[in-house]
Each structure stands twice: as structure tokens, then as C-alpha cells.
Amino acid sequence: MMRDMRVALMVTCINDALYPGTGQAVVTLLRRLGVDVEFPESQTCCAQPMVNTGYLDEAVPVVRNFVDAFAGYDAVVTPSGSCAGCARHQHSIVARRSGDASLAAAVETTSPKVYELSEFLVDVLGVTDVGAYYPHTVTYHPTCHSLRMLGVGDRPRQLLEHVRGLTLLELPAADQCCGFGGTFAVKNADTSVAMGSDKARHVRETGAEVLAAGDNSCLTHIGGLLTRQRSGVRAVHLAEILAATEGGRG
Amino acid sequence: MSGTFVGMPAFPQAAHEALGNAQLRRNLAHATGTIRAKRQRLVDEVNANSDWEALRLAGAGVKESALVDLATHLETLERTLTANGATVHWANDAAEANAIVASIATRHGVNEVVKVKSMVTQEINLNEALAAEGIAAWETDLAELIVQLGDDLPSHILVPAIHRNRSEIRDIFLSKMAAAGRPAPADLTDEPAVLAAAARSHLREKFLRAKVGVSGANFAVAETGTLVVVESEGNGRMCLTLPEVLVSVVGIEKVVPTWEGLDPLLRLLPRSSTGERMNPYTSMWNGVASGDGPQEVHVVLLDNGRTNALADEVGRQALRCIRCSACLNVCPVYERTGGHAYGSVYPGPIGAILNPLLRGVGHDDQVDSLPYASSLCGACFDACPVRIDIPSVLVDLRAQVVDAHRGGVPKAEALAMKATAVAFSDARRLRFGERFTGLGLRVAGRVGARKWTSARDLPPAPRESFRAWWKRTDGGRR
């Protein structure tokens, strides 16, 4: 990492509203690794809910807000493969739709600086052992957008394998989608639940106490099925595992 | 005999029905899982010696080069086919193509034709059009025969009877074969070899009797006027060589400029579709060969929406499709709903983009529902041998669907999206809204969001939002 790099946390709308603990974990983790992460308070959302449902005009002001909020930072870190994927691969579509050349230019500057958490840790900071301690059995679901849109590969695994006390259990059919898919989860609720039920069954088959993933949207879906089934398996974001230490957080 | 997809409900409703069918779910999971594993072994094998990605790029490049100058290649194809003694017909749509095939059959005074498995003739409902003229169109591919005898609809591009298991097939053969020709033996078992033998003797007399054969084509090589059909069972070879008259209906996107271009495509197709290094039968013919095979050869070049798709800047890549069905086999949605839910002969991820592209969006709820029949997981793009970025096309088509409905009375979804966009355009508005997150979740759980909560719990509401925490504690520093 370059010295004096200005790093922003893009917490994501879902984490902001529903999972503040995940955002706090990223802050804890990055500070422990020597990064003085900032939280630009004007940030809101990456606009993916609008883009992926087909509402491109509605996405324009949201993307404009995004590039304004993160202008001037050297890196934007987010605990979401899906939101990072939207920023890197879809903001240009929205900018083109707007017909606004200055927005397109701003997107071109900001998009490549957006990193999913495991990418930032492994590629930018160059660490795989983040000094975490998490004495639990864990199975890991590689979310689709981190796997196929960003190509994070085995970075999350490398990070988990270095966590002391953690036993990683292999998830069968791991690379198959959990069925969340944003508005797909309600527009095609039956199919979404059918996919999620199979994912939840595979999770239970591992016998793990904890299901980990790098996206709380997918975890809301799989975790929602697991708790409805009273399975006793907890869904925990990767960041919260990596932030944990012997003395508790921090 | 078999029906059509006309009048099918929109995807969510059709999927709801299909998901309740336990037998279908089991058949599909087994079949797609098996083909997926076979394909993966062959991709790994290619990667061990050379580079699958390079092969994909080459295949995509060939199809792309054909599409950028489609008109020129089609004119070349017409010239070479004609020089080879074939008669070339141009059809704008299904009705024109069906009328051409029916008039050829009628001119020869036949009441039946034998068919090679072909997606395009299903797309235009040729069998039904011929039946209306009193001409029986016999499907000769084993799986198509099962679908046809069962008065059923195809549910997969490559294996159209994928939703059937062997005991269901035995029942269909026993109850339906007699009405269509040679009956199944009374002691028919559900052993695959026994079922295949029954189909073989049933079909053999049709091959030997038919005067007119009908096919599609996997590729049409412009430089030499050569049509290519790849298949596994040999039924295609029979239909292409035994009848006196051969009519091939070919979508205009099937043109490949040169033989060199066939090379990567013939490597990619069998590996991606059946999970084989090479398909058992590859038939190629250049018009009429004197004294050998059909002495009257017709080629019907069909548009049927393809020039619409070609005009779509993002969607035109769908015309690269070589109908391998790899995207169906890896699709988690298809694996659970099966093909019928897509309401088209083109199901799965490719169907979810091809149908809207060919037929246009904004005038049919069923078509408009297809781009949303995906979780955008991206497995299809990874599997596609000609690198069609299906997720990006799906997202673009969703925008086209939304745009087509702008201006009228907005739906609840449109209002919700507009409201969300307003909240997300300014953090001050969002901060205000987030004070009510807990209340929102409780209300959602009680009254709305049933579609979420029917099977899934909602997460408990946090005490405060992240931004409220950051402000209160100065980012955890106090």
C-alpha cells in the first residue's frame, strides 16, 4: 500500500441500515492493519437495486451521488462483492444512459478504485493473515458477484485459512447461486426460495456452526431460511470473522 | 401432435407450478448435474493441453465476424448454394417459412415428412402448420419422438425430454407408438437399450418410406454453400440422405463465412452440449450431388426477428448462440423450474434473452417476464462457448422492459424504485429514512413483503444505523 493512501469505506445501504456490525468490523479490521479508513457521510447506495431491475434513469442521481461521495479517495473498500461489482461494471452503463460526459468521466475515475474487502486485503495491503481468532466451525459460500463478476477467486479462503481457531468445512455445490438475486428474491420468490432451500440444506450438511460469506444480501436470504428452519446455524459476514480477536473485537 | 407454447403464463406463475413437481425436480437435478460434470471434464482436458478460453474467443470471433457483415455473407451463401443446385428461399417470418415448406411438400403430393431435430422448425411451429395442410411431420430424434408421442412440449434445447425419466418414457411408448406407426413391443421394459431399440424399429420404416426430409442446420458455410448438421443418433444422417427431397430451414445467423471458421465451432459445440470431444455424426452437404442423396434440395433462410436482434446494440451477441445448451445445464433457475416455465422452445438463460430479442418487449407480459427469470449469478456467461454475456443482456433487456412501460400509470414497483432513488440521491434524506428502519422491518413482516417472509425470516432491526453509530462515536474513537 502506498503511504498516506486515502481509503474510504463504502458501507453499502443494506449494511448501513441492517448490519452496522459489519461496517464496524471493517473499521476495526482496517485500523488493526494500519489503515485509517474514512467514512464519507454523503454516501448512500451503489444503485444496483435500480440498475438490475431496469430502472436506469432512477439510477443516474444515485450514481452521481456515489462518485461525488468518493471523489478524491485512492481506494474505496466495501464489504460486498455485489456492490463492488455494480460500481466497477455497471456504473459506466448508467453514466452512458445519462448522456452526461462529466458523469462518465467521474465514473471512469472512481470505478477502478473500488475494492471488495478480500481484494483490498490481499491485493492492496498484501496480507492473508489478518491476526484474527475465531474458534468456530465455518463453511464459506462464495457469492456469485464476487466469484464471477469480480473474480476474487480464493482470496476469501486464504483469509479464512489464516484465522486461528477456525475450522473451515467444505460447502457442497459451493459455487451455485443461493437464489437471492436482488429483486429476483421477490419477483420470483418461489424459484428464489427453491434455490435457497438447496443452499441451506448444503450448509446444514456440513455441520458448521457458522455460514460465512462476503455479502450480507445473500446472507440475509440464506440466513433467513436457516433461522426459519431453526437450524441453529448462524450467518456471519466474512468481515466480522476477520475482525474478531482473542480479546473480543478490537 | 405436440402442442405449442402459445398462451403460457408469465415466468413466475409457470415456475410456481413446475417447482411443485417433485419428479421433475429430481429428473432435472440428475440430468443437468450429469451433463455439467461431463462438460467440465472436457474443459479441464482442453486446458491441460491448450486453452479453453482461447478457443472460446476464437469461436466468438468467428460468429462475430459473420454478424458484422451478415448481408454480404448471406448473399455469398445464396450464390454458392444456387451454384450447387439448391433452391434458396427467403422467409421474413414463421408464416412465410411454413408456407414455403408446405408448398414444397404439397407439390410432391406427400402426406408425411421426416424431420431432423431442429430448433428453428420448432420456433416457427412447422409441425403444426404442416398438420393443418394434412401433412404429418415425424420427429426422428429419440427425445423429440418422446416429446411428440407424449403430446408434450420440449423443455431443453439439446435433450428436449429431459423432464422425463425412463419409466415415463416406457409408458408413452406403450400407449402412443401404435397410433403413429409400428407399435412398441408389448413386453417393453424401461431399460435404456430396450427403449432405444423400440424407437429404432418404429422410426426405421418412416426413414425408408419418406419422400421428403426436413432439417435445420447448425452452420451454413458461405464460401462453399455447405450446410452442416451435427447429431448423435444417426437419425439426421438418415433424413438427410434417404429422401428424394430435402428442405432445410436455416436462421440467417447460422452463416459462417469460411471452413476455417468452422474449426473452433466444431470443437466447442460437442464439448459444451453433450460433453463429448466429438459428436458421433457430422453431416455436410453442398446442394445436390448427382445420383447420391436428395436430388431436390431447398434452403429456406429465415429472419423471424433476427434482424431486430441484430439491431440491438447490447443484445446482438445473442445471435452468436450455437444452441449448445451449456447455459441451461449450469443455470440454477433452469435446474429447478425446467424448460416449460420459459414458455418457449428456447428455455433457460439463452431463452430469457433470445425470446425478448426476437419478439420485442413491451407488448406481452410473458415475454417481458423472461429477462427477470434470472438471479444474475453469471454461471451462464462462464459456460457459454461463444462468450455471450447473458447477464449484461438480461440487465439491458430489463431496462428496455421498464422503458417500454414508462408513461402509463406507474406500477407499485416503479413508484418504489423512484422513492428509493430519491432517498439514495442524498444522504440527508437517507439518514432521516433510516430512523424508521426498525419500524419498516416490523411493518414489512406484518403486512407487506409476504413474498419474502413466506419462507424466510427478516433480520432483527439494529439499534442504530452504521452512519448513526459513526456520528455518535466519531467512527468508534470515542
Q: Does B377 touch chain A (CB under 8 A)?
A: yes
Q: Does A69 touch chain B (CB under 8 A)?
A: yes
Answer positive or negative: Cα dihedral of B241, B243, B244, B245. negative
Interface check A137 vs B, CB under 8 A: no
**How far, in Å, CA of A211 to CA of B389, rounded?**
30
Q: Å from A225 to nearest chain B CA?
A: 5
* Contact flag B434-A190 (C-beta cutoff 8 Å): no
- Residue predicted with more confidence, A4 or B319: B319
Strand B212-215's sheet: what is its strand order? Answer: B87-91, B296-302, B245-251, B212-215, B112-115, B136-139
d(C-alpha A12, C-alpha A19), whole Å: 10
Sorted by where each begins, the domain ranges of chain A are 7-124, 137-243
Tell me whether residues B461 and A18 touch, CB distance under 8 A: yes
Q: Which residues from A are below 8 Å from B382, CB to CB?
A: 148
**A1, pLDDT greater than 90:** no
User: Cβ of A190 under 8 Å from any chain B Cβ?
Assistant: yes
Q: pLDDT at position B133, please?
A: 97
Q: Is B402 on the interface with A (CB under 8 A)?
A: yes
Residues 105-134 of A with CB under 8 A from B: none
Q: What confidence score (pLDDT) does residue B333 get?
A: 98
Strand intervals (E) in A4-73: 7-9
A145–B contact, CB cutoff 8 A:
yes
Report yes or no: B334 at the A interface, CB cutoff 8 Å.
no
Interface contact flag, B375 A65, Cβ < 8 Å? no
Tell me if chain A has a CB within 8 Å of the CB of B420: yes
Select from B455, B94, B82, B108 the least CA-distant residue to B288.
B82
Residue A115's beta-bridge partner residues? A77
Give the tens place of pLDDT for each residue, B71-95: 999 999 999 999 999 999 999 999 9
Domains and CATH numbers, chain B: 11-306 (3.40.50.10420), 417-473 (no CATH)
Q: Are strands B212-215 and B112-115 parallel, antiparallel or unpaired?
A: parallel
Q: Is the CB of residue B256 less than 8 Å from the CB of residue B221?
A: yes
State the DSSP code for B345. Answer: S
Alpha-carbon distance B215 to B217, whole Å? 7
User: What pLDDT digit, counting tens, does each position of A60-119 carry?
Assistant: 999 999 999 999 999 999 999 999 999 999 999 999 999 999 999 999 999 999 999 999
The residue of chain A with its CA nearest to that of B377 is: A144
Strands B226-231 and B281-285, sheet pairing: antiparallel
Contact assignment for A177 to B455 by CB distance below 8 Å: no
**For residues A110 and A67, is the Cβ–Cβ distance under 8 A?**
yes
CA B6 from chain centre, in angstroms, equals 16
C-alpha–C-alpha distance, residues B113 and B115, integer Å: 6
Q: How far apart are CA B160 and CA B145, in angstroms?
A: 10
Question: C-alpha cell of B25?
Answer: 425436480
In whole numbers, what is the pLDDT of chain A averaged over residues? Answer: 96
pLDDT value, residue B2: 52
Contact A181 B377 (CB under 8 A): yes
A 9-48 residues inside an 8 A Cβ radius of B: 11, 13, 15-21, 23-24, 27-28, 38-39, 41-45, 47
Residues of chain B whose pLDDT is less than 50? 1, 448
Q: Do A220 and B459 touch (CB under 8 A)?
A: yes
| Helix spans in B124-227 (H) | 126-132, 142-149, 166-180, 192-209
Distance of CA B364 to the CA centre of its chain: 19
Q: Can you give the pTM of this predicted structure? A: 0.95
Burial A31-56 (b: 16+ CB within 10 A, else e): bbbebebebbeebbbbbbbbbbbbbb
Are B15 and A190 within 8 A, CB to CB?
A: yes
- The pLDDT of residue A249 is above 60: no
- Find residue B87's DSSP bridge partners: B298
Q: Which residues have C-beta within 8 Å of that of residue B380, sequence separation ≥ 6?
A: B326, B327, B330, B331, B348, B349, B350, B388, B390, B391
Q: Do B451 and A228 touch (CB under 8 A)?
A: no
Burial tier of B297 (Cβ tally within 10 Å: 0-12, 13-18, 19+): buried
> Which uninterrupted H or E stretch holds B298?
strand B296-302
Check if B444 contacts A (Cβ < 8 Å): no
Give the side-chain half-sphere CA count within 13 A for B339: 29
Q: Which residues of B touch A184 (CB under 8 A)?
A: 372, 374-376
**B2 CA: distance to closest CA in chain A (Å):** 27
Chain A residues with CB-CB distance to B383 below 8 A: none
B15 touches chain A (CB under 8 A): yes
pLDDT per residue over A143-188, tens digit each? 999 999 999 999 999 999 999 999 999 999 999 999 999 999 999 9
Q: CB B455 to CB A196 under 8 A? A: yes
Q: Do A16 and B434 touch (CB under 8 A)?
A: yes
Q: Which among B369, B274, B389, B398 is positioned nearest to B320, based on CA atoms? A: B389
Non-local (6+) Cβ contacts of B280 within 8 A are: B231, B232, B233, B234
CA nearest to A225, candidates A234, A213, A214: A234
| Interchain CB contact of B476 with A (< 8 Å) | yes
Of residues B453 and A219, the one with the higher pLDDT is A219
- Across the interface, whether the CB atoms of B417 and A53 are under 8 A apart is answered yes
Pick from A83, A70, A14, A22: which is nearest to A43 by CA? Answer: A70
Q: CB-CB: which of B337, B400, B456 is closest to A228?
A: B456
Contacts of B331 (CB under 8 A, 6+ apart): B348, B349, B374, B379, B380
* Positions of E strands within B177-285: 212-215, 219-221, 226-231, 245-251, 255-256, 281-285
CATH class for the domain made up of A137-243: alpha beta
The three cell numbers locating residue A243:
475482525
| ipTM higher than threshold 0.90 | yes
Cell, residue B376: 444474475
- Side-by-side strand order, sheet with A114-116: A7-9, A75-78, A114-116
Q: Would you call B40 helix, strand, or coil by DSSP?
A: helix
Q: A120 CB contacts (<8 Å, ≥6 apart)?
A: A75, A77
- Return d(Cα B105, Cα A114) in angstroms, integer: 62
Q: Does A58 touch chain B (CB under 8 A)?
A: yes
Q: How confident is the model at residue A20 (pLDDT cuts 50, 70, 90)?
A: very high
